[in-house]
Amino acid sequence: MAKKLVIKVTAGADAPERCSQAFTVAAVAVASGVDVSLWLTGESAWYALPGRAAEFELPHAAPLPDLLDSILAAGRVTLCTQCAARREITEQDVIKGVRIAGAQVFVQEAMAEDTQALVY
């Protein structure tokens, strides 16, 4: 079993089930002791901003703010550099603990030994 899990979520409110699945898998993995790195790309980039996860709604799904908090508490959350720039999001705008990094860092994490990468 992989010791590290890198998850890239490309969906937000535009595809709520896919978005929720990514956050849920990341939170469950963190709770299971897995080293998790969640990448926010595309429309999920908005969830790097304070209060935005609270706007997310999906019946029968765990609240996105709770999932995000648990991931931030024991894992890593990264906002894609280009996705942030396209939305005019800066490091000063994001939730404490969210970093902004680009494709080079994503590839480095995804290709590390004992790592499994998932894309939603």
Q: Can you tell me which residue has the tokens 């969210």?
A: 98
The pLDDT value recorded for residue 2 is: 63
For the chain, the farthest-separated pair of C-alpha atoms sits apart, in whole angstroms, at 38
DSSP per residue, 13-43: TTSHHHHHHHHHHHHHHHHTT-EEEEEE-GG
Tell me, yes or no, if the pTM score tops 0.75: yes
- Spatial CB neighbours of 51, under 8 Å, sequence gap ≥ 6: none
Domains in the chain, number: 1
Q: Is the pLDDT of residue 90 over 80?
A: yes
Domain that holds residue 52: 4-119
Q: How far apart are CA 117 and CA 109, in angstroms?
A: 9
Q: For 113, phi and psi rounded to 5 degrees?
A: -60, 145
Q: Which of 101, 111, 95, 91 is nearest to 41 (CA)?
A: 101
What are the tens digits of pLDDT across the range 10-65?
Answer: 999 999 999 999 999 999 999 999 999 999 999 999 999 999 999 999 999 999 99
* CATH code of the domain covering residue 20: 3.40.1260.10
